[in-house]
Amino acid sequence: MSRLSRGFFIVLEGIDGAGKTTLAKMLIDEFKSRGMQAVYTYEPTDSLIVRAVKGEYAPYRDAFVDALAFALDRLIHVKSLILPMLEKGVSVVSDRYFYSSVAYQSAMGAPYEWVMEVNKHAFKPDLAIYLDIPPELAITRRKGLSSRFPEFEEVEFLSKVRQYYKRMVSEGLLIEVDATREMQTVYMEVLEKVKSSQGVKLV
């Protein structure tokens, strides 16, 4: 499969409240408006693996269990959806990917290097953007909204998560975008990052 014949794989990262889902769907609409096929997806998925970890195996959950479970969920996600779509020429915009595991499970207490090692063979996206926002603002934005992982919605914990995201930015794994601004402004910057990325043609 040549790079020119497949779809474009974009990942949006950040803590809940940064605008990932809204921006991902705006990008999908952008692709479609230009006659290009694109699909939205997210991680962790709603697979049996994730449901088991949050349900039957919840008493045993820790940073290591989550990191390994989400890595397996990701591998199946890549094989069952992401790669098949890309091979058909369909672009994929994912709301979270392995960078979330690195940030969150490291913040939970697993060594950063270990979580990186677990995910080092994960299929790499064409573009990975980190939407930066202070936890206090993120929580304010999400007031009254439900969360798939409410146990993570605390300022002190999210501050640690943010530090690990920043570390990945400093290591060149993510491109940072200031997500504290008005949504349309953030979207225009994200769109420019997409347009300037090698392999995607949005003209």
pLDDT score of 170 more than 60 = yes
Residue 185 annotated as part of some ligand binding site: no
| pLDDT tens, position by position, 23-55 | 999 999 999 999 999 999 999 999 999 999 999
Q: Quick check: 177 and 193 in contact, CB under 8 A?
A: yes
The SS3 of residue 95 is strand
What pLDDT score was predicted for residue 201?
62
Q: For all residues of the chain together, what is the average pLDDT?
A: 92
CATH code: domain of residue 183: 3.40.50.300
What pLDDT score was predicted for residue 152?
72
Q: Which residues pair with 40 in a beta bridge?
A: 93
Phi-psi region of 96 (alpha: psi -120 to 50; beta: other; left: phi over 0): left
Q: Considering only residues 108 and 153, tell me which one the structure prediction assigns the higher pLDDT.
A: 108
* Cα separation values, 71 from 28, 46, 80, 195, Å: 25, 14, 14, 29
Range of the domain at 118: 9-196
Q: Is residue 3 part of a domain?
A: no
Instruction: Specify burial of residue 13 (Cβ count, 10 A radius: 0-12, 13-18, 19+).
Output: buried
pLDDT score of 164 more than 50 = yes
Q: Is residue 109 part of a domain?
A: yes
| pLDDT tens, position by position, 66-120 | 999 999 999 999 999 999 999 999 999 999 999 999 999 999 999 999 999 999 9
Q: Is residue 87 part of a domain?
A: yes
Q: Considering only residues 2 and 191, tell me which one the structure prediction assigns the higher pLDDT.
A: 191
Residue 201 annotated as part of some ligand binding site: no
Alpha helices in 18-80 (DSSP H): 20-33, 48-54, 63-77
What pLDDT score was predicted for residue 203?
52
Residue 19 annotated as part of some ligand binding site: yes
pLDDT band at 2 (very low <50, low <70, confident <90, very high): very low
Burial of 158-173, coded b for 16+ CB within 10 Å and e otherwise, reads bebbbebbeebbeeeb
pTM to 2 decimal places: 0.92
Residue 199 annotated as part of some ligand binding site: no
Residue 17 annotated as part of some ligand binding site: yes
Q: Is residue 65 part of a domain?
A: yes
What pLDDT score was predicted for residue 143?
76
What pLDDT score was predicted for residue 148?
67
Q: Considering only residues 91 and 201, tell me which one the structure prediction assigns the higher pLDDT.
A: 91
Residue 15 annotated as part of some ligand binding site: yes
Radius of gyration (C-alpha) of the chain in whole angstroms: 16
Map tokens 């979330």 to a residue. 100
CA distance 49 to 32: 32
What pLDDT score was predicted for residue 146?
63
Residue 14 annotated as part of some ligand binding site: yes
What pLDDT score was predicted for residue 145?
61
What pLDDT score was predicted for residue 105?
97
Q: Is residue 1 part of a domain?
A: no
Q: Is residue 149 part of a domain?
A: yes
CB atoms within 10 A of CB 64: 17
What pLDDT score was predicted for residue 142?
73
- The token pair at 89 is 């020429």
Q: Is residue 4 part of a domain?
A: no
Q: Is residue 43 part of a domain?
A: yes
> Domain tally for the chain?
1
Which of 84, 86, 80 is CA-nearest to residue 8? 86
Residue 193 annotated as part of some ligand binding site: no
The SS3 of residue 130 is strand
AA identity, residue 49: I
